Amino acid sequence: MKKQDIINYNRIAEAIDYIKENFRSQPNLDEVAKQVHLSPAHFQRLFTEWAGTSPKKFLQYISLEYAKKILKEEQATLWDTSFQTGFSSTSRLHDLFINIEGMTPAEYKNGGSNLHINYSFAESPFGPLLVASTEKGVCYMAFEDEEGKALNNLTLKFPNATLYRKVDLLQQNALLIFKNDWSKPHKIRLHLRGTDFQLKVWESLLKIPMGKLSTYGRIAKQIDQPKASRAVGSAIGNNPVAFLIPCHRVIQSSGALGGYMWGSTRKAALIGWEGAKTYSEMGEKK
């Protein structure tokens, strides 16, 4: 690592520590930049390059995690949570939850108690899977051999939602993808909840063509965060929808397959199957 890179890294580390220690006062860009002896503009650019997100977004994530902890563990009111997190009003906390979590603070506190989810089990070329959907789209899909374990994982993901074992059209449209019906991808609707960064990563994964592969570094560059490969890997690891969001198409820059939430053997099988199907389709067109 070059000397200047070391200096920059130390500055960003110092800034991160400062934000973590002082987030309750909601420091602005100028205040944090002053702590590391940089101009606001230079600090903004440098922080985003090294941390994979802007200082403002990082502050929001830290604040949100603290607010979530208070709501869950202490069962605090929205006003108390807002005050302890450093927000001037409950509306700011509400907006933060909507923008990052995709739900209101009350909905988070209740663990999705007003959410109705249909789920069903299905067979795929790569083993049994569970697929779940809300009225908006598929919210969860996972490979799992044991139905009990699969349902438990879904329950952990949506602890207070009302679950119904029921097949619906949203699930059926999603499962068509295993039958090589690529002609109607617009019928596959997803209902995803994640941070802005996670959603950007998942959107980038959707752009990887079937039969092709990408790397963590390449994905980081595509979302304009070239030094955020590790954060990209974390976002990929949190992908809630197997296969439809093709995180299996991302490998290490060395050519190694890397990890996969549903097993490295299954990842290799998925890549091989897609490659064979693509090759076969190309042969038929010649």
pLDDT tens-digit readout, 253-270: 888 888 899 998 999 999
CATH code of domain 196-285? 1.10.10.10
Tokens of residue 269, six digits: 């099988």
Residue 151 has pLDDT above 50, yes or no: yes
Per-residue pLDDT band for 98 (boundaries 50, 70, 90) equals low
Residue 99 has pLDDT above 70, yes or no: no
18 half-sphere exposure, CB direction, 13 A CA radius: 20
Residue 195 has pLDDT above 50, yes or no: yes
Average pLDDT of span 93-120? 72
* Range scoring the smallest mean pLDDT among 187-191, 231-235, 253-257: 187-191
196-285 and 3-100 share a CATH fold: yes
Per-residue pLDDT band for 41 (boundaries 50, 70, 90) equals very high
pLDDT over 90 percentage in the chain: 29
Q: How confident is the model at residue 227, as a pLDDT? A: 81
Q: Considering only the top CATH level, what class is 3-100?
A: mainly alpha
Please classify residue 201 by burial: count the beta carbons closer than 10 Å to its beta carbon, then call 0-12 exposed, 13-18 middle and 19+ buried. Answer: buried
Fold classified for 116-187: Double Stranded RNA Binding Domain (3.30.160)
Residue 101 has pLDDT above 70, yes or no: no
Residue 9 has pLDDT above 50, yes or no: yes
Please classify residue 93 by burial: count the beta carbons closer than 10 Å to its beta carbon, then call 0-12 exposed, 13-18 middle and 19+ buried. Answer: buried
Average pLDDT of span 154-160? 85
**Where are the chain's structural domains?**
3-100, 116-187, 196-285
Higher pLDDT, 277 or 25: 25
CA 44 to CA 141: how far, in whole Å?
37
Q: Which of 67, 247, 250, 271 is catalytic?
A: 247
Per-residue pLDDT band for 183 (boundaries 50, 70, 90) equals very low
CA 118 to CA 170: how far, in whole Å?
10
261 half-sphere exposure, CB direction, 13 A CA radius: 21
176 half-sphere exposure, CB direction, 13 A CA radius: 15
* Residue 265: CB atoms within 10 Å: 11
Instruction: Let me know if 247 is a catalytic residue.
Output: yes
Average pLDDT of span 16-34? 91
Residue 180 has pLDDT above 80, yes or no: no
| Residue with token string 């995180």 | 247
Residue 240 has pLDDT above 50, yes or no: yes
* Range scoring the smallest mean pLDDT among 158-162, 168-172, 192-196, 225-229: 192-196
Please classify residue 252 by burial: count the beta carbons closer than 10 Å to its beta carbon, then call 0-12 exposed, 13-18 middle and 19+ buried. Answer: middle
Per-residue pLDDT band for 285 (boundaries 50, 70, 90) equals low
Q: How confident is the model at residue 89, as a pLDDT? A: 74
CA 273 to CA 276: how far, in whole Å?
5
User: Helices marked H in the chain — which ranges?
Assistant: 3-22, 29-35, 40-51, 55-69, 78-85, 90-101, 105-109, 147-157, 169-175, 196-206, 216-222, 229-237, 264-285
Average pLDDT of the chain? 83
- CA-closest candidate to residue 203, choices 236, 229, 228, 175: 236
Beta bridge partners of 247: none
Q: How confident is the model at residue 8, as a pLDDT? A: 80
Average pLDDT of span 91-103? 69
Average pLDDT of span 72-85? 77
Residue 163 has pLDDT above 90, yes or no: yes
